Chain A
């Protein structure tokens, strides 16, 4: 099987861009990981527990904070939908079927980009209307936001680190837009996948 081809192959070339002498943002594409949507209906919170328990997760969680267990991240993206990301999701499809809920492989549907650096929040303020101040969007928070009118899942990994999950076919355009917006800060592209 060939390697998964990055949608950003021609966009993220390692190097420094923008204002010289400053490197306030680092951008890197994260390796592809399995991504599965689990969805149910009334009684979802209870029905999904058998799917989550083997992953070490105790509940469906809330809509603003990522649940993390080992390599697994769990995002509650709707009242009756979860997005699970991480290796070790093989059993989720089967467990979902047994639990009477639906699993959907979205492993190729998103490009995942990580931003680090002192100016990441400033950059995001230029891309999305989400309030990314520490007090409103603490570490572990996530939000489904719009960047350039495209739906993007935004997650805060650390005070100066964010993860963006961008629809695959939009990602080249959006990351190019992000790069141009970041030029005044000085931006460094690091080697990512592929």
Chain B
């Protein structure tokens, strides 16, 4: 059986190129230009998917973005994509798709049992079910496992997507969204101005609704002529297969271009999808309309379709979806569908809820052989698995049956209950729309955003001629607003369309005489929300539209209520005896249609997830066996494991080596800030807690700075290089924060100070050389400087050269050993490190990594990031002695708050462990004998094995810590479920007098 429902001729497909697609394990034929949906319909595949909750059989319902039913899996392996609307999936030879939300098969889906259990799955059943029975959440916990398994529609892939995606920024003068008649007319006008125009169309072809008209009509000539003119305009860029999904402040729009979704694979190096961020001066929205379904019993069965979609499949794809068709409408638009179906050979009955219809239309359908039944509508679709007949009933002006229903055999029911303008993008920026009570739809407020103009169907326009005229005028006006006023006459089109707004009825649902639906009448097809669900929500007291939406989940599926929102509002309005605008509407938010995560991510994944900083010496480390570790944005050498040592063995060995010989660590990552200007000393005096006015050139001082709220911001050293020239270092992690903080102060509070702060982190590489042999080693390497203790005491600096490389040597220690920091311009960093390595061989020099550096500083009780966590004060860290009482500084007032002065606050202590006991950072502290509950009395901040002491030690913040030296505390790691005890000791584990660093 091949393309049973494909007409022998007609449509806009390329019949010269046959293709094959796979669906549910079977191969189907189609043509180039088909969608997956049109191929399935052509091949008489009525069952395409299963509904979300009840697993009811579903078929193709629409022909566009609004499709709620025909959701499929597309492609396989890493390219697998769930929840693809078959109506949008462009078919290509070899396309592989499969149904979703069905097991073990689409036809025999065990989930369909839910239909039997439907009474238990009414609106809000989650909320009700999981409040009981019984106490607590035990029942919920039991059900959760099964519900989570059943939840969702498609199955997300778990393999890496092999395709590439990218993001692009574009600037234009005029952005036109939608290339139907109105959008094309706008582009025609705007393009003549010579301004840069971007015309965006979600379809693969330009034309919008014109493509649904029979091929060969006059409209085709106009369309071809217009498209040719627009394409010929050099400043007009046309993007097809591109969806504008978001409109944002500042006239920024988000688009996704499906560059190669119409092929199995993108060519090598090309991207599958492209995310466009568009900045425009003017935007013209010509986004058209979406047809509304009629709500009646069984309206979800395969074989019930939107009237416009039936027309689209007939005229664009040459598919006749049914031979015995009942068209049920509330407006004029379906008359086109009915007469064209009849012309294609179908037997058609047209039910119109209106008792009086325009004469020209009734004559037209009569001439086509269509049986017209005014004042009638479909009450219920009948059939098992798909439509086989319909109950047709006479109805009153509210859609309620007024007589006996007649059952008529059919294989297709085409429905139309008017149209809803696609005002999503407008609403994303402008908010709530107006309600047009004559047309029964929401429309954009006129002139609400000066840089945005809405034209065509999206303002409720039913006439093509008016749409073209308005579109053209909008193009001219947008050009004028951009300063390029031009004149021109709108194209005079010779064709017309049926105006759906003329005499349209606002009936949206068909019920029995008692006002109830005949069977399950679905409002939200994708989320299985029925008319009775809305009724139930109302009975349970929900009146707010937003609450109604969340309680029933109407409009919350992947289609975001494109077909259901108005019907839900209409039902709520009826129940509350209010007009629709009084009930309100929900808020439209991006994206208009689902977009892929890949398009949002672009290149920003894997090694490009975020930009990485590499030290000027970086390459040396992995070349020499370093295991690298991320430290903020930086990659740093963690430990050198080339000799086969693991982390623990390596860092203990490295730290021990520094204590006995000499080691070298790359500290280029330190934040480095040039503080320059005649008021630099005064500036430093204000940002640091200690005094700076007496620091002489060539000297270095340690400093601590606070935030304005009195908590410690950062610490580091600052060297005075010249009269007005200071060199500040910060912790690696706080560099940007400190720079921004200081710049903020200079730009706002202290504009009177002549100071500039500039990051010089990238200018300088830095190497810390530490250990008893450090002076000897450096003295052997250096020319032009005397590094003896007398000439270069602690906290002094000197400029020199090492093998011709300019260096600045700061004598200072973080490890507690005799140590120096050697600075050189970044481009020389690698050479300097290599030179020191060569010279250092004679002194048993070894590199060490960040783990050993941490061990050394913990042994000395120096604070770092884990202690400077934004919650600690000077007193907490035993740094109170640094604070000057003779001058104000940032945080000097608020640091004295009563709460911060509380002696019971956790303060910094050392912990010593016996034997193999140790703790991980974050472990909680409790007094000996106390219950280990709650947040404890403090926590471990930094921990290491101390090679100098031969035991495990830690720094910790412990309540009243200063008075608890000698106490034993319980150390509990709830994450790792370990417990031990430790002795509270001074933070100065090693060389408390500092003899070694002052040697």
Q: Which residues of B contact A39 (CB under 8 A)?
A: 676, 756, 758
Chain B CB within 8 A of A59 CB: no
Contact with B along A98-137 (1 / 0, CB 8 A): 0010101111111000000000000001101111010010
**5 additional contacts, CB 8 Å, given A106-B758, A126-B169, A181-B603?**
A6-B827, A109-B760, A109-B762, A168-B827, A180-B603
- The answer for the CA separation of A4 and B830 in the assembled complex, in Å, is 9
Chain A CB within 8 A of B754 CB: yes
Q: Which residues of A contact B804 (CB under 8 A)?
A: 1-2
Q: How far is the CB of A34 from chain B (nearest CB, A)?
A: 11
Partner of B166, one of A108, A126, A170: A126
Select the stretch in A48-56, A66-74, A153-161, A171-179 that faces chain B.
A171-179
Q: Which residues of A contact B830 (CB under 8 A)?
A: 5
Contact with B along A1-36 (1 / 0, CB 8 A): 111111101100000001100000000000010000
Tell whether, in the assembled complex, residue B677 and residue A102 are in contact, meaning their CB atoms are under 8 Å apart. Answer: yes
Partner of B611, one of A18, A128, A149: A149
Tell whether, in the assembled complex, residue B828 and residue A4 are in contact, meaning their CB atoms are under 8 Å apart. Answer: yes
Contact with A along B822-839 (1 / 0, CB 8 A): 000111111100000000
Chain B CB within 8 A of A150 CB: yes
Q: Contacts A4-B828, A131-B279, A148-B611 given: A104-B760 contact, CB under 8 Å?
A: yes
Chain A CB within 8 A of B616 CB: yes
Chain A CB within 8 A of B217 CB: no
Chain B CB within 8 A of A184 CB: yes
Q: How far is the CB of B173 from chain A (nearest CB, A)?
A: 10
- The answer for the CA separation of A108 and B329 in the assembled complex, in Å, is 74
Q: Contacts A5-B828, A108-B825 given: A172-B614 contact, CB under 8 Å?
A: yes
Chain A CB within 8 A of B701 CB: no
Q: How far is the CB of A41 from chain B (nearest CB, A)?
A: 5
- The answer for the CA separation of A22 and B74 in the assembled complex, in Å, is 32
- The answer for the CA separation of A126 and B604 in the assembled complex, in Å, is 12
Q: How many of chain A's residues have a CB under 8 angstroms from any CB in B? A: 50
Chain B CB within 8 A of A37 CB: yes
User: What are 7 residue pairs bridging A and B, where the CB atoms are less than 8 Å apart in the complex?
Assistant: A4-B827, A4-B828, A37-B758, A109-B760, A129-B169, A131-B279, A170-B611
Chain A CB within 8 A of B748 CB: no
Tell whether, in the assembled complex, residue A177 and residue B603 are in contact, meaning their CB atoms are under 8 Å apart. Answer: yes
Partner of B827, one of A32, A80, A100, A104: A32
Chain A CB within 8 A of B547 CB: no
Closest to B276 in A: A125
Q: How far is the CB of A169 from chain B (nearest CB, A)?
A: 5
Tell whether, in the assembled complex, residue A148 and residue B756 are in contact, meaning their CB atoms are under 8 Å apart. Answer: no
Chain A CB within 8 A of B613 CB: yes
Chain B CB within 8 A of A167 CB: yes
Tell whether, in the assembled complex, residue B607 and residue A176 are in contact, meaning their CB atoms are under 8 Å apart. Answer: yes
Tell whether, in the assembled complex, residue A181 and residue B616 are in contact, meaning their CB atoms are under 8 Å apart. Answer: no
- The answer for the CA separation of A174 and B604 in the assembled complex, in Å, is 11
Q: How far is the CB of B737 from chain A (nearest CB, A)?
A: 15
- The answer for the CA separation of A176 and B609 in the assembled complex, in Å, is 12
- Interface positions, chain B 160-198, Cβ under 8 Å from A, are 164, 166-171, 196
Tell whether, in the assembled complex, residue A169 and residue B761 are in contact, meaning their CB atoms are under 8 Å apart. Answer: yes
- Interface positions, chain A 56-103, Cβ under 8 Å from B, are 80-81, 100, 102
Closest to A106 in B: B763
Q: How far is the CB of B747 from chain A (nearest CB, A)?
A: 11
Chain B CB within 8 A of A183 CB: yes
Closest to A168 in B: B762
Q: How far is the CB of A129 from chain B (nearest CB, A)?
A: 4
Q: How far is the CB of B342 from chain A (nearest CB, A)?
A: 50
Tell whether, in the assembled complex, residue B760 and residue A173 are in contact, meaning their CB atoms are under 8 Å apart. Answer: no
Tell whether, in the assembled complex, residue B604 and residue A148 are in contact, meaning their CB atoms are under 8 Å apart. Answer: yes
Closest 5 CB pairs of A and B: A4-B827, A108-B825, A109-B763, A2-B831, A131-B171
Chain A CB within 8 A of B790 CB: no
- The answer for the CA separation of A106 and B634 in the assembled complex, in Å, is 21
Task: Report which residue of A9, A125, A133, A136 has the largest number of chain B beta carbons within 10 angstroms of its beta carbon.
Answer: A125
Q: How far is the CB of A123 from chain B (nearest CB, A)?
A: 10
- Interface positions, chain B 588-621, Cβ under 8 Å from A, are 603-604, 607-608, 610-616, 618-619
Q: Which residues of B contact A80 (CB under 8 A)?
A: 756
Q: Contacts A41-B754, A172-B614, A176-B607 given: A125-B760 contact, CB under 8 Å?
A: no
Tell whether, in the assembled complex, residue A176 and residue B171 are in contact, meaning their CB atoms are under 8 Å apart. Answer: no
Closest to B166 in A: A126
Q: How far is the CB of A18 from chain B (nearest CB, A)?
A: 5
Contact with A along B759-796 (1 / 0, CB 8 A): 01111100000000000000000000000000000000
Partner of B758, one of A104, A110, A129, A180: A104
Task: Report which residue of B170, B614, B828 has the largest number of chain A beta carbons within 10 angstroms of its beta carbon.
Answer: B614
Q: Which residues of A contact B98 (CB under 8 A)?
A: none
Q: Which residues of A contact B763 (CB under 8 A)?
A: 105-109, 168
- The answer for the CA separation of A173 and B762 in the assembled complex, in Å, is 14
Closest to B252 in A: A129
- The answer for the CA separation of A106 and B761 in the assembled complex, in Å, is 10
Tell whether, in the assembled complex, residue A136 and residue B608 are in contact, meaning their CB atoms are under 8 Å apart. Answer: no
Residue numbers of A with Cβ under 8 A of B are: 1-7, 9-10, 18-19, 32, 37, 39, 41, 80-81, 100, 102, 104-110, 125-126, 128-131, 133, 136, 148-150, 167-170, 172-174, 176-177, 180-181, 183-184
Closest to A81 in B: B756
Q: How far is the CB of A171 from chain B (nearest CB, A)?
A: 8
- The answer for the CA separation of A125 and B198 in the assembled complex, in Å, is 15
Q: Which residues of A contact B827 (CB under 8 A)?
A: 3-6, 32, 108, 168
Partner of A104, one of B164, B676, B829: B676
Q: How far is the CB of A40 from chain B (nearest CB, A)?
A: 8
Q: How far is the CB of A97 from chain B (nearest CB, A)?
A: 9
Q: Which residues of A contact B604 (CB under 8 A)?
A: 148
Chain A CB within 8 A of B645 CB: no
Chain A CB within 8 A of B668 CB: yes
Q: Which residues of A contact B619 (CB under 8 A)?
A: 9-10
Tell whether, in the assembled complex, residue B608 and residue A177 are in contact, meaning their CB atoms are under 8 Å apart. Answer: yes
Tell whether, in the assembled complex, residue A7 and residue B167 are in contact, meaning their CB atoms are under 8 Å apart. Answer: no
Q: Which residues of B contact A150 (CB under 8 A)?
A: 611
Chain A CB within 8 A of B269 CB: yes
Q: Which residues of B contact A102 (CB under 8 A)?
A: 676-677, 724-725, 756
Tell whether, in the assembled complex, residue B825 and residue A107 are in contact, meaning their CB atoms are under 8 Å apart. Answer: yes
Tell whether, in the assembled complex, residue B756 and residue A180 are in contact, meaning their CB atoms are under 8 Å apart. Answer: no
Tell whether, in the assembled complex, residue A125 and residue B612 are in contact, meaning their CB atoms are under 8 Å apart. Answer: no
Chain A CB within 8 A of B247 CB: no
Chain A CB within 8 A of B277 CB: yes
Q: Contacts A107-B825, A148-B604, A169-B615 given: A133-B677 contact, CB under 8 Å?
A: no
Q: How far is the CB of A142 from chain B (nearest CB, A)?
A: 17
Q: Which residues of A contact B613 (CB under 8 A)?
A: 169-170, 173
Tell whether, in the assembled complex, residue B612 and residue A173 are in contact, meaning their CB atoms are under 8 Å apart. Answer: yes
- The answer for the CA separation of A177 and B269 in the assembled complex, in Å, is 14
Tell whether, in the assembled complex, residue A19 and residue B825 are in contact, meaning their CB atoms are under 8 Å apart. Answer: no
Chain A CB within 8 A of B624 CB: no
- The answer for the CA separation of A122 and B702 in the assembled complex, in Å, is 49
Q: How far is the CB of B585 from chain A (nearest CB, A)?
A: 33
Q: How far is the CB of A105 from chain B (nearest CB, A)?
A: 7
Closest to A11 in B: B614
Tell whether, in the assembled complex, residue B614 and residue A7 are in contact, meaning their CB atoms are under 8 Å apart. Answer: yes
Closest to B722 in A: A97
Chain A CB within 8 A of B115 CB: no
Q: Which residues of B contact A3 (CB under 8 A)?
A: 827
Tell whether, in the assembled complex, residue B826 and residue A109 are in contact, meaning their CB atoms are under 8 Å apart. Answer: yes
Q: Which residues of A contact B805 (CB under 8 A)?
A: 1-2
- The answer for the CA separation of A6 and B756 in the assembled complex, in Å, is 28
Closest to B612 in A: A173
Q: Which residues of B contact A6 (CB under 8 A)?
A: 827
Chain A CB within 8 A of B325 CB: no
Q: Which residues of A contact B806 (CB under 8 A)?
A: 1
Contact with A along B721-756 (1 / 0, CB 8 A): 000110000000000000000000000000000101
- The answer for the CA separation of A81 and B166 in the assembled complex, in Å, is 35
- The answer for the CA separation of A183 and B826 in the assembled complex, in Å, is 30
Tell whether, in the assembled complex, residue A174 and residue B611 are in contact, meaning their CB atoms are under 8 Å apart. Answer: yes
Q: How far is the CB of B803 from chain A (nearest CB, A)?
A: 8
Chain A CB within 8 A of B271 CB: yes
